[in-house]
């Protein structure tokens, strides 16, 4: 049978797409792709099996399951039914009074995707991509719903990782998770923003590719010389991730973002408090604890320090995949 070379919509790897197939799975990243020329209509590749669907901005989406529930939104995993490979996250507003936070998240992400800050061409690929935001009728009432896209494989939150690894992940794994967070934060701070909510449910991990990205940009604020915004809200269940000064003053900063990222790394490594090092040994653990206390202000400098401490603790870098169900 003749084949037609396509490229994975998620990672760009070449595919051998047989025309008789409806869906072609990328052997590199696992993304499911529909064959055919770019822009050509593709029949629905998801049979109507009774799972919930809804239409938004001219597309129909399938809801595959609940990812989590925040203070403002219920968050679902889903796909566009005409391209099974397009993994999306669907945010359904739970509290009508928090509609401004969901709208704010989309505004922040759209601003960041337009950024011309150094490194933007690379780092915007590590941000959620807004697709659509609009009110729809769900369950007999109008709800604001947002749809976001991000790269395939980032499907576990750090909260889920810790739940699966009750004693915490191995120290080498906690290190690469921390380094990926610091890279995103370094670019974000250079673009004049702080994240403001670096908490375990907002850290998505790619178990195989040493990848981690941040979501939850609804609390992001501008932080430039002489210009600062108060946080619009705080996640009620994760206030322990925030430095005391942020809780009292309601202003986030680059150092508070780094403190929260370090606390996430300690949490992943099995620490029960910010004073514990979990599975991070010796000087490396002490460095991350110091960062968790807000003693560092530059993400790139902290990343370099983590690199050095990890090399002393573990030796040369090596591949350390994260064991998770299905990987």
For the record, the structure tokens of 307 come out as: 């690199």
Instruction: Give yes or no: residues 209 and 254 share one domain.
Output: yes
What pLDDT, on a 0 to 100 scale, did the predictor assign at position 4?
45
In a domain? residue 327 = no
User: Residue 194 pairs with which residues in a beta bridge?
Assistant: 221
Residues 16 and 108 in one domain: no
> Which residue range(s) make up the domain with 204?
156-314
Within this chain, do residues 307 and 192 fall inside the same structural domain, yes or no? yes
Phi-psi region of 166 (alpha: psi -120 to 50; beta: other; left: phi over 0): alpha
Residues 116 and 95 grouped into a single domain: yes
**Where among 149, 179, 212 does a domain terminate?**
149
Q: Examine residue 305 and state whether it is found in any structural domain, yes or no.
A: yes
3-state SS, residue 39: coil
294 and 168 part of one domain: yes
The answer as to whether 325 is a domain residue is no
pLDDT tens over the chain, length 327 residues: 334 445 555 555 555 544 334 456 665 555 655 555 544 444 445 556 677 888 888 888 888 888 777 778 888 888 887 755 577 889 998 877 788 999 999 999 999 999 999 999 999 999 999 999 999 887 778 889 999 987 778 878 999 999 999 999 999 999 999 999 999 999 999 999 999 999 999 999 999 999 999 999 999 999 876 667 889 989 888 999 999 999 999 999 999 999 999 999 999 999 999 889 999 999 999 999 999 999 999 999 999 999 999 999 999 989 999 999 876
Identify which of 70, 54, 117, 118 has the alpha carbon closest to the alpha carbon of residue 218: 70
- For the CA atoms of 59, 64, 66, 67, the dihedral, rounded to the nearest 10 degrees, stands at -80
Residue after which a domain boundary falls, among 134, 149, 164: 149
The sheet that has 53-56: what strands, in order across it? 53-56, 59-69, 73-80, 83-93, 141-149, 129-138
In a domain, 108, yes or no: yes
Residue 320 lies in a domain: no
Shared-domain flag, residues 296 and 206 = yes
Please indicate, yes or no, whether residues 176 and 286 belong to a single structural domain of this protein: yes
Number of domains within the chain: 3
* Amino acid 191: pLDDT: 95
Residues 170, 183: Cα–Cα separation, whole Å: 21
**Within a domain: residue 75?**
yes
Alpha helices in the chain (DSSP H): 99-113, 120-123, 158-164, 171-190, 244-249, 254-268, 282-292, 299-314
Q: Say which CATH number the domain at 105 has.
A: 1.10.510.10
My answer on whether 207 and 145 are in the same domain is no
Task: Indicate the residue among 149, 180, 209 that finishes a domain.
Answer: 149
The secondary structure of 177-226 as a DSSP string is HHHHHHHHHHHHHHTTEE-S---GGGEEEETTTTEEEE--GGG-EEEETT
258 and 295 part of one domain: yes
CA distance 121 to 109: 14
Whole-angstrom distance, CA of residue 218 vs CA of residue 184 = 16
The answer to whether residue 321 is domain-embedded is no
- Report the sign of the C-alpha dihedral through residues 112, 113, 115, 116, in that order: positive
Query: Is 104 contained in some domain?
Result: yes
Spell 90-113 as b/e; 16+ CB within 10 A means b.
Answer: bbbbeeeebeebbebbbbbbeebe
Residue 305 shares a structural domain with residue 276: yes
Tell whether 128 and 215 lie within a shared domain: no
Cβ atoms 83, 35 nearer than 8 A: no
- Tell me, yes or no, whether 97 and 126 share the same domain: yes
């Amino acid at each position: 049978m003749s084949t037609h070379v396509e490229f994975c919509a998620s990672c760009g790897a070449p595919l051998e797409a047989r025309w008789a197939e409806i869906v072609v799975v990328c052997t590199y990243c696992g993304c499911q792709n529909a064959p055919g020329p770019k822009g050509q209509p593709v029949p629905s590749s998801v049979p109507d099996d009774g799972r919930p669907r809804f239409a938004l901005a001219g597309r129909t989406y399938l809801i595959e399951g609940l990812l989590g529930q925040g203070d403002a939104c219920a968050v679902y995993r889903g796909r566009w039914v005409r391209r099974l490979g397009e993994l999306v996250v669907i945010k359904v507003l739970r509290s009508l009074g928090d509609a401004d936070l969901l709208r704010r998240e989309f505004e922040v992400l759209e601003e960041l995707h337009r950024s011309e800050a150094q490194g933007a061409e690379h780092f915007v690929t590590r941000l959620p991509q807004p697709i659509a935001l609009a009110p729809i009728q769900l369950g007999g009432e109008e709800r604001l719903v947002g749809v976001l896209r991000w790269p395939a494989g980032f499907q576990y939150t750090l909260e889920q990782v810790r739940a699966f690894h009750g004693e915490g992940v191995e120290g080498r794994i906690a290190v690469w998770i921390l380094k990926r967070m610091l890279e995103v934060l370094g670019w974000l701070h250079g673009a004049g923003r702080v994240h403001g909510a670096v908490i375990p449910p907002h850290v998505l991990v790619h178990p195989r590719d040493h990848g981690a990205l941040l979501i939850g940009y609804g609390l992001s604020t501008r932080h430039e010389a002489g210009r600062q915004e108060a946080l619009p809200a705080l996640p009620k269940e994760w206030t322990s991730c925030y430095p005391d000064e942020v809780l009292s003053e309601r202003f986030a900063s680059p150092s508070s973002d780094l403190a929260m990222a370090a606390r996430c790394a300690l949490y992943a490594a099995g620490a029960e408090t910010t004073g514990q090092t979990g599975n991070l040994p010796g000087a490396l653990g002490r460095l991350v604890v110091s960062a968790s206390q807000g003693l560092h202000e530059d993400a790139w400098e902290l990343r370099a320090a983590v690199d050095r401490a990890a090399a002393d603790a573990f030796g040369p870098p090596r591949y350390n995949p994260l064991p998770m169900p299905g990987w």
